[in-house]
Structure 1
């Protein structure tokens, strides 16, 4: 099944790359070998900043300039996918042992899948770049070929294509493979000298004028450059102070990172050593574009944490950072912009110099401290829970992983909610349906409530503020309190609201609905957003932030009802329970009074929340857990009530004849 997933991802990646318009697909490849590409025209490769490779890379690519453009695009994409598959297979076979048979079977397809969905591979396939090849050459040199000279030769050729890869020759030297290190340096020098001999002007421009390619391609301070040099330029530094600080930081990163890589190689974790060295190369390179950051993904093999519950934190961080853009991982808040803009660099620096990867000699390498699990109390139906392997963990989940999970899930929710629209006509048609049903049921109170609140200034301001603010604050506060005080119940509550939100997204997609404030001719007043221009289908700038037709079901009321139910079930005091129940009451009043929802939207919100609680109960069992069994030795005993010990007669063994002649007991 996993290999079928790999095949599906490969087909999809080829389709995405080749179905783009001619001016948007394989843009770098087109720049190199197209009709007016730099490899076709006479003159220097670097007359413009379109070619960013080394002169040796230009020398290797020049024969491709005579190939048919259409056929080359297909072959290039297919060949790149084959390189990714080979890279994944080699990386999977290089996992540090001992590895179980199941892990060995899963490793290759999982590795290839992660590589295909990662940002560097997607970027390389979109641009038509060669950045996958140096990584594969290094892995082949470290794990496939034998001897001392062949690995060095592959490293040297890879460094001729991507100069900072020469740091692997330093790794060879630190690990005692002196001949491989010398061969790597010699191969790099030979390839570079060959390029100097054939293209002396281009070589001078690249190595001297541009200082190993710095300044080619996009601007060095652009977000695409995830290196120390780019981060310092984005921070506002420039000129000699920036260069001096960059050189000093690069030296520090090389010193600590390469020493760590050599230590991991000596510990038998050669793949982790390769990943750490690659992360050092990413950080210290003058320009490290997104398609050159595959080294960071290889760092996922490192094991971090003594507890089993912490083992997934580092892999999850690496995979999320390498597959999702920073705008999805972090909110649009100015205070976190420095982290969001440099998140790939931060992870690379962490892998190179900071993350405490476990050595294989650690007692926790194979046997981490297991998580405590609790069994739910018996349910009324014998088939509950349906997923007996869904074990309820009692310990508190990792905070970083939870924050990432909440952020990624909310970002996905926002994107799906924004995309789930079928147009204004359909949404208004559904709005008239809902209005007719409410009139038939005699629950169409929205118009009267809306106009009554409009004329009471303080009440209108209260409902407007409550609608805009408490929708997010209250659920986050409740989840935060449960996380700190009641971890087991936090996991249960998080699952219920997750199921409810997922079901709501299905509703948004299947039944786009215009809220009362966007229904022309009914006379509703939008108290929160102001007067809307019904002549514009996009309703001004509001649609750029959210889908205005995602009204059924109402998650404003659904989440508030979830808050009320959780507080009612878990709060220790009566006044807390009453206060928790006031929140859904105020929310349903606010969504109706501000004309943002119909009454039946609130009914839909209650339905998805009920289904969320029901699904959690059905799959994982009741919320309450069985009390932990107390060992008999730990149970307190009443000395007066305890029965007196009964003396047991002891029979002494009698003397027997020793075969040697003596006596023994």
Structure 2
């Protein structure tokens, strides 16, 4: 596993190099080119800030000036490889700083995992694309806190980091209140000396940055843009401006600094210095006038905090942080107006949560190293003895964490939508596959789509019913089934959810390998699209319909597949006969709907049934039969206490 993780880290590094250096010269390292190119602000007479393109401190510009004469190509290669080297060093330091004690396995895997997460994070990717210096302050702080043995050297490193990003100076109070007062004084003195040096070398630029633009708050072209994930940026996005906005920002910033630094000091004294550093960095992100995407690496470090007393709750915080730092915000939250304030500020929300609200466990807490264990069903061999079960895929008997499930379902569906949208090979290929499917159905005498479609169109109320069923029940019924199972049958929820996930992944493979035009998008066959209306086949892009979905993702049919999954789950688990009947009716009505509305071929439904069957089968092969639990009778007084659940039999159903 360790070798595999190091290999993954190397592959991610190669990919980042390839992505950056394969871009045209004018599109890669755009910020670096703006600073050091032929017309760059670093060697053009006048102020650094005249063009509103340079947002760093005057000290930042002073350090970068020697690069202004470097060859663009050599600088690009050197900057990219140098940044990747810094990321690798950063990952190694983070791995060494993980709070002790840790198992030997964790110690061996920490470094490659840290480097992989850093490579995937939005700040590092953004830094590599733009050619920014934002990794340097983070690395200087970590080296100062964890590698430098002399306190004064530690303070010098942190002070230089603060000269690059002024809010990094908040680490000085952390050092002071944790007993490293020489380091705190040295950090403050180094910051003051570096700033004074830049002021002496560039007095006009220093005045512009510190006085006219209030420590860089007004330098950006769009300070209210989504890239500015600070309290100041969020308040501007909420429509506030002027003295009121500044007063509110300063009040909120003071509260965040007070609460966040108190928490950081407490966790540092508790022996969790890396978590304390991460919390202080999150405070710096929140209270900075501008915290651009490439400056938000501090939030990712908060993943080391432990949250939750139960073992099943432990993954929630790290998963949420990793997803927030690696994926676009729109993948984590649906496109609903009520959620836009959170979606637009998701990294700021994560930073504020880490700084002020998340109840990280103390090392003295009894559940810090020994969380409440998860209940598992006894391992049961599969019916095919030659199929080995996956050792770590155990059957869990406790209810999963709701927040984690909702987050993973949302991200999984977003990924499904993105892959579905990308899985297209063009109109000609999809129509050719449509003709193939139609020919096979004719050979099998099951080409009933045209007759059913026109029969439905001839009955207006039936057409309206099928249209409503097609557009409404596809998501409502599966989500309802999952919700009921989560509340009433948590063990069966895991079993059913796993099968649905595997079926959906298999369907995506089908969409990618076999793009297929549905009947309604086959010219010349006379089908009537009852849901979307008539198609103009003379337009080359008629099949796209909208930019939101891939109209050629028809084989297999997940409309039928998901409905069949619902029917199977309800028929197996429902306690009443009438419920089982309703469950069986849902896939029956769905198959009539997708054929009657000309949205799928009959063989698409067969494909949907196959991936659902494979989904249940894969879950069975990995973990064995579905786990079932019943209450155990109370133990006798002289008997040891037994588990709350047990598995009564080993049958599949």
Counterpart Cα distance in 2 of 1:380 and 1:161 = 63
2:611 paired residue number? 608
Paired residues, number = 636
Counterpart Cα distance in 2 of 1:439 and 1:218 = 62
2:446 paired residue number? 443
Q: Does 1:6 align with 2:9?
A: yes
Q: Equivalences for 1:521-536 in 2 at 5 Å?
A: 521-536=524-539
Q: Is the 8 A contact 1:385 1:617 kept in 2?
A: no
Q: Does 1:572 align with 2:572?
A: no
1:337 paired residue number? 340
What is the CA-CA distance between 1:237 and the residue it aligns to?
1.2
1:111 paired residue number? 114
Say if 1:11 and 1:508 are closer, same or farther in 2 by CA, change over 3 A.
Answer: same
Q: Does 1:133 align with 2:136?
A: yes
What is the CA-CA distance between 1:634 and the residue it aligns to?
6.5
Q: Is the 8 A contact 2:492 2:628 kept in 1?
A: no
Partner SS for 2:570: helix
What is the CA-CA distance between 1:22 and the residue it aligns to?
1.7
Partner SS for 1:522: coil
**TM-score, normalised via structure 2 length:** 0.96
CA deviation map 1:84-119 (0-9, x unaligned): 001110111011111222111101110011001000
1:640 paired residue number? none
Q: Does 1:76 align with 2:108?
A: no
Q: Is the 8 A contact 2:58 2:209 kept in 1?
A: yes
RMSD: 1.4
Counterpart Cα distance in 1 of 2:405 and 2:622 = 21
What is the CA-CA distance between 1:381 and the residue it aligns to?
3.0
What is the CA-CA distance between 1:4 and the residue it aligns to?
1.2
Q: Is the 8 A contact 1:330 1:407 kept in 2?
A: yes
Partner SS for 1:365: coil
Q: Is the 8 A contact 1:307 1:368 kept in 2?
A: yes
Q: Equivalences for 1:106-255 in 2 at 5 Å?
A: 106-255=109-258
Q: Does 1:537 align with 2:540?
A: yes
Q: Is the 8 A contact 1:303 1:365 kept in 2?
A: yes
Counterpart Cα distance in 1 of 2:161 and 2:635 = 65
What is the CA-CA distance between 1:218 and the residue it aligns to?
3.5
Q: Does 1:558 align with 2:566?
A: no
Structure 1: runs of 5+ lacking an equivalent = 637-665
Deviates more, 1:475-484 or 1:624-633: 624-633
Q: Equivalences for 1:492-511 in 2 at 5 Å?
A: 492-511=495-514
Say if 1:635 and 1:626 are closer, same or farther in 2 by CA, change over 3 A.
Answer: farther
What is the CA-CA distance between 1:378 and the residue it aligns to?
5.6
1:26 paired residue number? 29
What is the CA-CA distance between 1:619 and the residue it aligns to?
1.3
Counterpart Cα distance in 1 of 2:347 and 2:382 = 47
Counterpart Cα distance in 2 of 1:485 and 1:350 = 31
Q: Equivalences for 1:389-428 in 2 at 5 Å?
A: 389-428=392-431
Aligned equivalent of 2:487, options 484, 489, 492: 484
Partner SS for 2:400: coil
What is the CA-CA distance between 1:624 and the residue it aligns to?
3.9
Q: Equivalences for 1:43-82 in 2 at 5 Å?
A: 43-82=46-85
CA deviation map 1:45-66 (0-9, x unaligned): 1111111111111110000011
Counterpart Cα distance in 1 of 2:6 and 2:102 = 20
Aligned equivalent of 1:36, options 39, 46, 49: 39
What is the CA-CA distance between 1:336 and the residue it aligns to?
0.6
2:89 paired residue number? 86
Partner SS for 1:633: coil
Aligned equivalent of 2:361, options 358, 363, 376: 358
Q: Does 1:269 align with 2:265?
A: no
Aligned equivalent of 2:599, options 596, 600, 615: 596
Q: Is the 8 A contact 2:544 2:551 kept in 1?
A: no
What is the CA-CA distance between 1:178 and the residue it aligns to?
1.8
CA deviation map 1:141-167 (0-9, x unaligned): 000011221111111111111000000
Counterpart Cα distance in 1 of 2:322 and 2:382 = 38
Counterpart Cα distance in 2 of 1:594 and 1:634 = 65
Question: Could you say which structure has the larger radius of gyration?
Answer: 1
Counterpart Cα distance in 2 of 1:276 and 1:394 = 35
CA deviation map 1:157-212 (0-9, x unaligned): 11111000000011111212222111111100100000111110010011101111
Q: Does 1:294 align with 2:297?
A: yes
Q: Is the 8 A contact 2:395 2:627 kept in 1?
A: no
CA deviation map 1:278-308 (0-9, x unaligned): 0000000000000000000000000111111
Structure 2: runs of 5+ lacking an equivalent = 640-653
Aligned equivalent of 2:390, options 387, 390, 395: 387
1:646 paired residue number? none
Say if 1:413 and 1:190 are closer, same or farther in 2 by CA, change over 3 A.
Answer: same
Q: Is the 8 A contact 1:591 1:597 kept in 2?
A: yes
Q: Is the 8 A contact 1:384 1:621 kept in 2?
A: no
Counterpart Cα distance in 2 of 1:98 and 1:623 = 37
Deviates more, 1:533-542 or 1:61-70: 533-542
